[in-house]
């Protein structure tokens, strides 16, 4: 394993709050964290609002060791995110695990959790770069293809930077883990139903000029798998 990735230790260094109890499913490499983050299209941002947890889905982007989330300057969650620690989770569902008992039914997945104090992005260049990262993470090729943000749009947008210093990665894969008594009884079907995500055909906006061609960054986008 390399010593550093993006200037950060190549091994994740969890604190007690980010240490996975079931350690056999924990991944300790920063590369695994980046793999999960880069494969996920959305994240869930957990913040504390008026003393209660609020967890909202959001798009995100990554530049090196920092994850960025963005939204309206009016967004409650983003305002709260600068005041108290945040938790950002990404989840990739890879399959459903059918066991011989309902107790042992499970899911195959890759997931990552970041614990951090988010930072409001105020530097104009970092803000632009982070918005590009968010757009390119969700829709690669769009930053160059579509119109760039205006000063007014930038002013209406809040960006939070969430560092990946304290992170955990958990992965479950493989068949069900059944009790021996259920294996012996062999009464129910058991196995894995893999889940694959596929893009459908592009649906051009009805307001496009006639004859508009769907660009390659849309038609040739690989499915997430």
Ligand X SMILES: Cc1cc2nc3c(=O)[nH]c(=O)nc-3n(C[C@H](O)[C@H](O)[C@H](O)COP(=O)(O)OP(=O)(O)OC[C@H]3O[C@@H](n4cnc5c(N)ncnc54)[C@H](O)[C@@H]3O)c2cc1C
Using CB under 6 A, list all residues that contact ligand X: 17-21, 91, 93, 107, 109, 111-113, 168-170
Q: CB of residue 182 vs ligand X: minimum separation in angstroms?
A: 19
Nearer to ligand X, 179 or 184 (CB): 179
Task: Compute the C-alpha angle 131/134/140, nearest 5°.
Answer: 115
Q: Where would I find the beta strands (DSSP E) of the chain?
A: 4-5, 8-9, 26-27, 43-49, 52-58, 61-63, 66-72, 86-98, 106-116, 119-120, 157-163, 166-172, 191-194
Shortest Cβ distance from residue 14 to ligand X (Å)? Answer: 7
* 28: helix, strand or coil: coil
Look at residue 82 and give its three-state secondary structure.
Answer: coil
Whether the CB-CB separation of 6 and 65 falls below 8 Å is answered with yes
Secondary structure of residue 161 in the 3-state scheme: strand
Please identify, using beta-carbon distances, which residue of 70 and 170 lies nearer to ligand X.
Answer: 170
Of 158 and 168, CB closest to ligand X: 168
The two structure tokens encoding residue 72: 């309206």
Q: How far is the CB of 219 from ligand X (least distance, A)?
A: 31
Nearer to ligand X, 113 or 133 (CB): 113
Sign of CA dihedral 146, 148, 149, 150: negative
Closer by beta carbon to ligand X, 85 or else 140: 85
Closest contact distance (angstroms) between CB of 106 and ligand X is 7
3-state SS, residue 25? helix
Decide if 70 contacts 159 (C-beta within 8 A).
yes
CA angle 196, 59, 129 (to 5 degrees): 125
Query: What secondary structure letter does DSSP report for 29?
Result: B
Q: Are 180 and 99 in contact (CB under 8 A)?
A: no
Q: Closest approach of Cβ 193 to ligand X, in Å?
A: 14
CB of residue 15 to ligand X, shortest distance in Å: 9
For residues 160 and 169, which CB has a smaller minimum distance to ligand X in the complex?
A: 169
Given the complex with ligand X, which of 24 and 206 has the nearer CB atom? 24
Give the shortest CB-166-to-ligand X separation in angstroms: 8
């Amino acid at each position: 394993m390399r010593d550093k990735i993006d200037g950060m230790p190549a091994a994740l260094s969890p604190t007690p709050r980010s240490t996975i109890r079931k350690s056999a499913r924990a991944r300790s490499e920063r590369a695994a964290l980046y793999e999960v983050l880069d494969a996920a299209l959305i994240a869930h941002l957990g913040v504390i609002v008026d003393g209660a947890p609020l967890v909202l889905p959001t798009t995100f982007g990554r530049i090196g060791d920092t994850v960025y989330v963005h939204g309206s300057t009016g967004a409650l969650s983003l305002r709260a995110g600068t005041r108290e620690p945040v938790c950002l989770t990404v989840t990739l569902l890879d399959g459903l695990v059918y066991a011989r008992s309902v107790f042992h039914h499970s899911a195959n997945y890759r997931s990552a959790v970041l614990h951090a104090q988010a930072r409001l992005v105020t530097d104009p260049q970092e803000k632009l770069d982070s918005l590009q990262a968010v757009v390119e993470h969700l829709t690669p090729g769009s930053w160059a293809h579509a119109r760039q943000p205006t000063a007014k749009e930038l002013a209406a947008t809040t960006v939070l930077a969430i560092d990946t210093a304290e992170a955990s990665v958990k992965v479950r894969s493989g068949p069900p883990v059944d009790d021996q008594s259920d294996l012996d009884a062999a009464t129910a079907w058991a196995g894995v139903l893999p889940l694959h995500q596929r893009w459908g055909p592009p649906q051009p906006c009805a307001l496009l000029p006639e004859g508009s061609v769907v660009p390659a960054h849309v038609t040739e986008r690989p499915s997430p798998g």
